[in-house]
Amino acid sequence: MKPSINTFFGAFILLFVFSAPLWAQEADMNTSESKPVKNTFGSIWIIDNQTVAVPFKGNFEFDIQHRFGIVKNGYDDLFGLYAPSNIRLGFGYVPIEKLMIGFGITKTNLTWDVNVKYAILRQMTSGGSPLSVTYFGNAAIDTRDKDYFTNPEVLVTTDRLSFFHQLLFARKFSDKISLQLGASLSHFNTVEAFKNPQNEIIDKYQNDHFAIALSGRYKISPVTNILINYDQPVTTHEVLDPQPNISFGLEITTSSHQFQIFAGNFYNITPQRNNVFNNNRFQDGAFLIGFNMTRLWSL
C-alpha cells in the first residue's frame, strides 16, 4: 500500500490543532520583542531521532550512541548488557547559524554517514512562527567486504548507498512540555530479491520507505527530562514487516553535555536501517537498553 501525502499532512494538522488551545498559556515565554524560543529540547537527539535543535554557530559536537542487546534472554547475557552491541561515533559542526554538518561511523555494516541539518523556521516568543521546522538528511555507505552482499560479482559502489530525509515539526508548549512530529523518507539504492512460490523474482522490500515519528520531552527539574518516542512505519513491503519503535528514557543536561539512557526496540542507530529493518517487537520483550552521550565545544 503506497502512503499518500495526506498521511503526513493529517498528522501535522493534528499536532498544530492540539497546540492551539495552549498558545494562550504561554505568557511566560512572550516578550514585547519577538525572539526564538530557547531550549525546545536539551539535545540534537531525542533517543533514536533528531530534534529540531541546532547548536549555535561555531559549536563542535561529539556523539556516542550505544545500544546493548535485547533483554529477553534474561540472565544468560545479563539482560542484553553482554550481548552483541551496536555503537556509533559521530561528529558535527555548525559553520553558519542554523546549519549543522557532520559525519559518523556505525558498527552495523561498518556504515559511514555524512549528514546535514538546517533550521528552516524557529518558534517565536510572540508573533512569527508558532512552530520550529527543521530538515535533517544523511547519505550512508555500507563499507563491508563485497562478499557480504548477495551478488558480489556485479556489486558497484552506488549499490552500497542509502539515504534518509526527514522534516521535523516541534512546539514548546511551556517550560516543561515540548512535542515533535517527524515525517521521513528512507531510500536504499539496491534491494534484495527472492523467488516467490510462483517462481517469480520480486523485491523483498521497496527502495523507498515512509515513516512518521512522534516525540516528547517533559522537564522534571532544571537539568533532568523525561523522554518518550514512537516511530510508525507507513510503507508496507513484500517480505519485510518493519515494526514500530516504542522508547522512553531519562535525559540529564548541562550547558555542554547531554546524557540520555532509555529502553526501546530500535537497534541499528542509522535511521534508514532502523525504519526499514527493525524486527524487534516491544510487546514480545524484544527491547533493549541504550544511551546517547554528547559533548559540545564552542570553537
pLDDT of amino acid 154: 85
Share above pLDDT 70 across residues of the chain, in percent, rounded to a whole number: 88
Domains delineated in the chain: 5-10+50-298 (2.40.160.40)
Q: Which pLDDT band, with edges at 50, 70 and 90, does 79 fall under?
A: confident
pLDDT reading at 19 higher than 60:
no
pLDDT reading at 30 higher than 80:
no
Least confident among 2-11, 173-182, 288-297: 2-11
pLDDT reading at 25 higher than 90:
no
For residue 96, what are the β-bridge partners? 99
Compute the radius of gyration of the chain from its Cα atoms.
Answer: 20
pLDDT reading at 162 higher than 90:
yes
Share above pLDDT 90 across residues of the chain, in percent, rounded to a whole number: 72
Q: Please tell me which residue, 5 or 129, carries the higher pLDDT value.
A: 129
pLDDT reading at 194 higher than 80:
no
pLDDT of amino acid 195: 66
Mean pLDDT of 190-215: 84
Q: Which pLDDT band, with edges at 50, 70 and 90, does 27 fall under?
A: very low
pLDDT reading at 85 higher than 90:
yes
pLDDT of amino acid 32: 56
pLDDT digits (tens, 9 = 90+) for 230-279: 999 999 998 889 999 999 999 999 888 999 999 999 999 999 999 999 99
- CA gap 105, 84 in Å, rounded: 17
CB 167 within 8 A of CB 183: yes
pLDDT reading at 28 higher than 50:
no
pLDDT reading at 166 higher than 90:
yes
pTM over 0.85: yes
Q: Which pLDDT band, with edges at 50, 70 and 90, does 21 fall under?
A: very low
CB 161 within 8 A of CB 138: no
